[in-house]
Amino acid sequence: MSDPLAAWRSEFPIVETCTYLVSHSLGAMPRRTNVYLQQFADEWSTRGVRAWHEGWWEIGRTTGVLLAPLVGAPAGTISMHQNVTVAQAIVASCHRYDGPRRRIVMSDLEFPSNMYLFEGFRRYGAEIVYVPSDDGIRTNLERLLEEIDERTVLVPLSLVLFKSGFIENARAIVEKAHRVGARLILDIYQAAGTVPLSLESLAVDFAVGGSVKWLCGGPGAGYLYVRPDLAPEVQPALAGWAAHARPFQFETGPIDYADAPERFQSGTPNVPALYSCRAGYEIVQEIGVDAIRAKSLRLTRRLMDLASEAGLRINTPQADDERGGSVIIDVPDGASVTDELIRRGVIVDYRPRAGIRMAPHFYNTIEEIDHAMRELCDLARNPVSRPPNPGSRLHGMYDY
Ligand SMILES: Cc1ncc(COP(=O)(O)O)c(C=O)c1O
Per-residue pLDDT tens digits for 149-170: 999 999 999 999 999 999 999 9
Query: Ligand 1 center to residue 191 CA distance, Å?
Result: 11
What per-residue string of b and e applies to 78-107 under the rule 16 or more CB within 10 Å gives b? bbbbebbbbbbbbbbebbebeeebbbbbbb
Per-residue pLDDT tens digits for 290-319: 999 999 999 999 999 999 999 999 999 999
Q: Among 91, 139, 162, which residue has the most ligand 1 atoms within 8 Å of its CB, making it the best to mutate?
A: 162
Query: Ligand 1 center to residue 110 CA distance, Å?
Result: 10
The arithmetic mean of pLDDT across residues 265-283, rounded, is 97
pLDDT at 399: 40
pLDDT at 353: 86
Q: How confident is the model at residue 388 (pLDDT cuts 50, 70, 90)?
A: low
Q: How confident is the model at residue 391 (pLDDT cuts 50, 70, 90)?
A: very low
Return mean pLDDT, the chain.
95
Ligand 1 — pocket residues by CB below 6 A? Answer: 83-85, 111, 113, 158, 162, 187, 189-190, 210, 222, 400
- Residue of the nearest CA to atom 7 in ligand 1? 84
Query: Ligand 1 center to residue 83 CA distance, Å?
Result: 8
Helices 278-287 and 289-309: angle between axes, nearest 10 degrees: 90
Reported residue count of the chain is 400
Per-residue pLDDT tens digits for 17-65: 999 999 999 999 999 999 999 999 999 999 999 999 999 999 999 999 9
396 pLDDT above the threshold of 60:
no
Query: Ligand 1 center to residue 338 CA distance, Å?
Result: 21
- Residue of the nearest CA to atom 14 in ligand 1? 400
Using DSSP, how many helices (H) and how many strands (E) does the chain show? 13, 13
* The model's pTM: 0.95
Specify the ligand 1 atom closest to the Cα of 161. Answer: 1
Query: Ligand 1 center to residue 111 CA distance, Å?
Result: 7
Q: How confident is the model at residue 389 (pLDDT cuts 50, 70, 90)?
A: low
322 pLDDT above the threshold of 60:
yes
- Round the CA-based radius of gyration of the chain to a whole number and report it: 22
- Written as one string, the DSSP assignment of 277-339 is THHHHHHHHHH-HHHHHHHHHHHHHHHHHHHHHTT-EE-S-SSGGGB-S-EEEE-TTHHHHHH
The arithmetic mean of pLDDT across residues 271-297, rounded, is 98
Query: Ligand 1 center to residue 57 CA distance, Å?
Result: 26
Q: How confident is the model at residue 256 (pLDDT cuts 50, 70, 90)?
A: very high
pLDDT at 387: 58
